[in-house]
Structure 1
Amino acid sequence: MSTAGSRLRAAVVGGGFMAEVHSRAARAARAELAGIVSSTPERSAAAAERLGIGRAYASLDELLADDSIDVVHVTTPNALHAEQASAVLAAGKHVVCEKPLATTTADAEALVAAARGRTATVPFVYRFHPMVREARARFASGAAGRVLTVSASYLQDWLLASGDDNWRVDSAQGGRSRAFADIGSHLVDLVEFVTGDRVTRVSATKKTVFTERAAHSSITTEDAVAVVIETAAGAIGTLLVSQVAPGRKNRLLLEIAGSEESVGFDQEQPETLWVGRRRGSLLVPRDADQLSEDAARLCVVPSGHPQGYQEAFAAFVADTYAAVAGEEPDGLPRFTDGLRAVRITDAVIDSAESGTWIGLEQNA
């Protein structure tokens, strides 16, 4: 392991798009990108060359045997997360594991137990937009009042046509849920994070638009999900998740009505927060001088210079590394949050398949 005061040595498992995002964030957080492993030695070498990473490992076992590695980023397909993250923890290393944390609740629970004594985080990175923190601060301070209703959606169009395909549509690789596990998990995490409230019941319906795609047949994972929610504090709301919404590239929209004011955040327009009032609604800019302390902390460039997803990801990784160093960053999503998302995903799919309301334990 690295010695105190030295740069963390990070390694990446997986060589796709998310490996690129994680590697950029790790560099921004001043880690040394020491190694990478992909599905084959050849792909590992190609990924190391493409991403400028110091060493390509022939296997995960070889990577984990390297005592100089401090933290491992797992960015592989969903079905591999539990086994690989468990191996990282067993090797005595800290871990960042892509969501979903696991494809079953039992595996996610086992990972939470295995992570005790280690920093183990899940990239619910939309928490790290400054204007999300500003929305959270308004509810935490009481300025927004008590939560009344939630209207939230996460819409994409990358699987709009039958010829669009990806490993995620295959339940053997992605798990029983696709759209909700992939992006709905972000949405419900933000609802609970911003409000400080917990979803207690869900009633859902789901739709698989294409059961046949370019390289997959007999597809059972969903393209879209609609969910009605109730919360512990008595709020009600709706969540709409779709990967077949034309023109929407990554439109995460969150509008929460409190008894005093509403807040609205659009991830495709992350520089402002709408604050709705009966009189005097306003659009708050991402300007550190006008924001709560927690939101201002995440402003890494001056107002008027846009920042977005990659900066949010970098802030998440920086807080993860701060936790490795013994700090306690506020709002850091840990494996317990990943487990919460898996439980809610299961409840949503169970509800859609049974046609009934499904309850959730408030503290689970």
Structure 2
Amino acid sequence: MPTQTELSRPDRRIGMIGAGFMARTHSIAARLAGARLDAIAASTDASATRAATEYGYERALAADELIAARLPLVHVCTPNPSHVSYARAAIRAGAHVICEKPLATNAADALALAAEADEAGRPGAVPFVYRYHPMVREARARIAAGEAGAVLTVSGRYLQDWMLAAEDDNWRVGVDTGGPSRAFADIGSHLVDLVEFVSGDRISRLVATTRTVHPERGGHTVQTEDSVALAVELAGGGIGTLLVSQVAPGRKNGLVLEISGARETLCFEQEDPERLWVGRRGHSLLLRRDTDTLAPDAARLSKVPSGHAQGYQDAFNSFVDDAYAVVRGEHREGLPTFADGARAAVITDAVLASAASGSWVEVSGA
């Protein structure tokens, strides 16, 4: 199979801890980036063996065996509370790590892990992959170049319906198995990452409210939120509103970000990722992905000819390709590192604190 790039280092082996949907997505991207799929670990020997056959790994191991194998790069795609322990163990064994979000289930652990990775010279990567849609990069470039003007307002939403019914259940629901935040940590983290990445600004304070629609799921009391609404202030003076829900009927992956500057508004919709709406007072434009007109950073992520749709897996492939390039010592613009994962955890903690107190909360500068 042709690859986007080949890892230049002699040892191209990777390990995968986890065997679910995200492990499959990572594995596809890793193969395209030229990795050798060496070993995979899962919660049971049977799951690891099944995943090794299905995803194309050479061997199935227990997680501690995989860490001890001292592979040069390890992907962590396990349930949330185990991210820190697996990522830290892999780093201490000498590996570079790509870790699923949330990086940790609280800000303190995420910040500590990011600091340790940075000190080890392996800053890691967290798959905030919506950064890798070319039209997201186009919006970012227009704001950075001053075309949109100073950011005045932001509005965004990330809506899904997979937890709509009371009988819908998942390991993420439990605090012990998923962490204290569900909807925001799972998908709201993507939204706030895009707000800060595209705008080039930071959320300085926020006020949030949460709602748990179903008090019980699967016979267990639900302690995590189904939806979150928040107002935000940016350090540069902009203000905004964000809505996150996993109980919005008919919405499958409705991530929308709209940023209004003093001269133009930019709107990106993840379910229609090939276009960017640009609104001006006298007229509006609908920009399609076209390498002849895109900013250079957007054009480099355009992997297929214009008019042929790119989607989620393409964005994920580009993210992993960039992560591997950075491991080789190259610079790749916009790669989300453990520092970005820690930033999302800081904002998640602020959301939970605000929802509990009913008041505005300052967001630290981490």
**TM-score, normalised by the number of residues in structure 1:** 0.97
Q: Which moved more, 1:112-121 or 1:252-261?
A: 112-121
Q: Return the offset for 1:64.
A: 1.5
Aligned mate of 2:270, from 267, 270, 290? 267
The residue identity in structure 2 corresponding to 1:106 is: A
Aligned mate of 2:168, from 151, 161, 164? 164
DSSP-derived class of the 1:279 partner: coil
CA–CA separation in structure 1 for the residues paired with 2:340 and 2:307 = 33
Q: Is this contact kept in 1: 2:11–2:72, CA < 8 A? A: no
1:326 is the counterpart of 2:361: no
Q: Return the offset for 1:4.
A: 5.5
CA–CA separation in structure 2 for the residues paired with 1:201 and 1:119 = 27
Q: How do 1:22-37 residues align onto structure 2 when only pairs under 5 Å count?
A: 22-37=26-41
* CA shift in 2, pair 1:92/1:292, >3 Å: same
**TM-score, normalised by the number of residues in structure 2:** 0.96
Give the structure 2 partner of residue 174 of structure 1: 178
- Work out the number of aligned pairs and report it: 359
Give the structure 1 partner of residue 111 of structure 2: 109
Q: Is this contact kept in 2: 1:276–1:282, CA < 8 A? A: yes
The residue identity in structure 1 corresponding to 2:224 is: T
1:145 is the counterpart of 2:149: yes
- Cα-to-partner distance string for 1:283-336 (whole Å, 9 max, x where unaligned): 000111110000000000011100010000010000000000001211000000
Q: Which moved more, 1:309-318 or 1:104-113?
A: 104-113
1:49 is the counterpart of 2:53: yes
1:229 is the counterpart of 2:232: yes
Q: How do 1:33-112 residues align onto structure 2 when only pairs under 5 Å count?
A: 33-57=37-61, 59-67=62-70, 69-112=71-114
Q: How do 1:11-30 residues align onto structure 2 when only pairs under 5 Å count?
A: 11-30=15-34
- Cα-to-partner distance string for 1:20-66 (whole Å, 9 max, x where unaligned): 10001111111111110001112111111111211101x21211221
1:212 is the counterpart of 2:245: no
Give the structure 1 partner of residue 205 of structure 2: 201
Q: How do 1:241-256 residues align onto structure 2 when only pairs under 5 Å count?
A: 241-256=244-259
Structure 1 runs of 4+ aligned residues shifted over 6 Å read none
CA–CA separation in structure 2 for the residues paired with 1:216 and 1:310 = 35
CA–CA separation in structure 2 for the residues paired with 1:4 and 1:155 = 40
DSSP-derived class of the 2:220 partner: coil
Q: Return the offset for 1:280.
A: 2.3
Q: Which moved more, 1:115-124 or 1:315-324?
A: 115-124
The alignment's C-alpha RMSD in Å is: 1.3
Gaps of 5+ in 1: none
DSSP-derived class of the 2:221 partner: coil
DSSP-derived class of the 2:286 partner: strand
Give the structure 2 partner of residue 285 of structure 1: 288
Q: Return the offset for 1:11.
A: 1.1
The residue identity in structure 1 corresponding to 2:25 is: V
* CA shift in 2, pair 1:216/1:104, >3 Å: farther
